[in-house]
Structure 1
Amino acid sequence: MTIGRLSAREQRVLDEVERALRHDHRLDRRLRTMRLSRLPDLSRLAACRPRPLTAVLLLAVSLTLMATGIATSVPGVIWAFALSWPVTLFAVFRLLCHRTGEERER
C-alpha cells in the first residue's frame, strides 16, 4: 500500500463516498449518540415487559432449583438457583408493575 497522495480518480471516489455518508441521517444520528462507555444500556432492559407464561416458567424453574439445592446441597444447583432467582424476581416485578399500571388507567 502506498503512502503517497491519492490520484484524481481515487480522490473523486472518496469525495462521493463522503458526500453519500453525509446525507445518511440515520448513520449521522447513530454516530452522534454512540456511547464510549463500558456500561451496558439498561434502558432497554428496564423497558422490557415479560409475558405471564415466561414469569410463571421462571418461577417454577427457580423454585425447583431451590428445592433441589436444599435437598441435595450440590454447589452447581445452588449456583443455578442463585443466577436464576434475580432474573425471576425482575420478571415478576416488571409483570406486576405493568398489571397494576393497567388497572390504574381504567
Structure 2
Amino acid sequence: MDGPELSERERMILAGIEGDLRSDERLDRRLRTLRRGFGPWSGAWSRSGTWTAVLVLGCACLFVRAVATGAPALLWLFSGVWVATAVRLLWLGCAWGRRRAKAWAGTRAPGGGS
C-alpha cells in the first residue's frame, strides 16, 4: 500500500463501515447482480427472463406440433401460450427500456444541455 498507514482509530472506523455494508442484504444483492455475462449462471438473466424463454420454447414446440397434426385443441393451446408469451416479452421489453432510461439519465451531467 502506498502512502501512510491507517491509525488504529481509522481502522476501527473502517471495520465498522465494512461491517454495516456487509449486513445490508439489499446492497449485497445489487452488487452480486452487477456481473456481466450471458445466461442464468452469470447473473444477467432474471427469473422472469428464464420463464419467458421457457414460454418461447413451449410456444415453438406447440406451433410445430399443431401444424403437423392440425388438431384444433393444439391450435387453441398454441394460441393461448402465444398470447402469454407475447405479454411476457412486452413486459420484459418495457422493463429493459425503463432500466436503460434510468441508466442513461444517471450518466447525463446535471444541468447540462445538449
Q: Could you tell me the TM-score, scaled by structure 2's length?
A: 0.47
Query: Which structure's CA Rg is the greater one?
Result: 1
Query: Which amino acid is 2:67 matched to?
Result: I
The residue number in structure 2 matching 1:60 is: 57
Cα distance, 1:82 vs structure 2: 1.2
- Alignment partner for residue 87 of structure 2, among 79, 87, 90? 90
**How many residues align structurally?**
57
Following TM superposition, the consecutive aligned residue runs of length 4 or more in structure 1 with deviations greater than 4 angstroms are none
Cα distance, 1:76 vs structure 2: 1.3
The residue number in structure 2 matching 1:37 is: none
Q: Could you tell me the TM-score, scaled by structure 1's length?
A: 0.51
Give a deviation string over 1:37-83, Cα, whole Å, max 9, x none: xxxxxxxxxxxxx7100110111111111111111101111111011
Query: Which amino acid is 1:93 matched to?
Result: L
CA RMSD of the aligned region, Å?
1.2
1:80 correspondence with 2:77: yes
> Which residues of structure 1 form unaligned runs of 5+?
1-49
The residue number in structure 1 matching 2:108 is: none
> Which residues of structure 2 form unaligned runs of 5+?
1-46, 104-114
- The one of the two structures with greater contact order (alpha-carbon pairs below 8 A, sep at least 6) is 1
